[in-house]
A = this chain, B = another copy of it.
C-alpha cells in the first residue's frame, strides 16, 4: 500500500469528523481507487479478498456513515442497484443501458444552474444521462 496516499485518505476522513478506523479507510480507499461506481456488494466482495475480517454489515455501516458525512455520493442512476462514488464534485453520470457501466462525464459543461420555487431549498443536484456507450455502440 502506498503510505502517502493512504495517509491522505485518513486525513479526508478526519477532516469530516470520522474516526479513521481500518475498515472505514479501506472502504473509502477502495472507492477512491476504483472510480467505477461499485455497488455495496462489489465493494464487499473485493475487499474481502485482502481483508478477511470485513463483513457485509460493516460495509453497509461505513457506506451509510460516509454518505451522511458527505465524503461519498450515492448514485441512483440505475433502478436495479445503488452505486457509490468517492468523487463528490458535481459531475454528470452516464449509464450505458447495454453494458450497465456508469461513466463520469466530468469534462462536460458544468452542472445546470437550477432554480427552484420559493420555499424550496436545494441540497444537491444530480444529472443522469442514459444511453449507449462507445464500446456498445458497435
Contact = CB atoms under 8 A, between A and B. Distances in A.
Interface of A: 74, 76-79, 82, 92, 94, 97, 103, 105, 107-109, 111-112, 114-134, 137
Given A76-B79, A79-B76, A119-B134, A129 B114 contact: yes
A94 B124 CA distance: 10
Contacts of A127: 112, 114, 125-128
A116 B96 CA distance: 12
Contacts of A108: 114-117
28 contacts: A76-B79, A79-B82, A92-B114, A94-B116, A105-B116, A107-B117, A108-B114, A109-B112, A109-B114, A112-B112, A112-B127, A114-B127, A114-B129, A116-B129, A118-B134, A119-B134, A120-B133, A120-B137, A121-B137, A123-B132, A125-B127, A125-B130, A126-B127, A126-B128, A126-B129, A126-B130, A127-B127, A127-B128
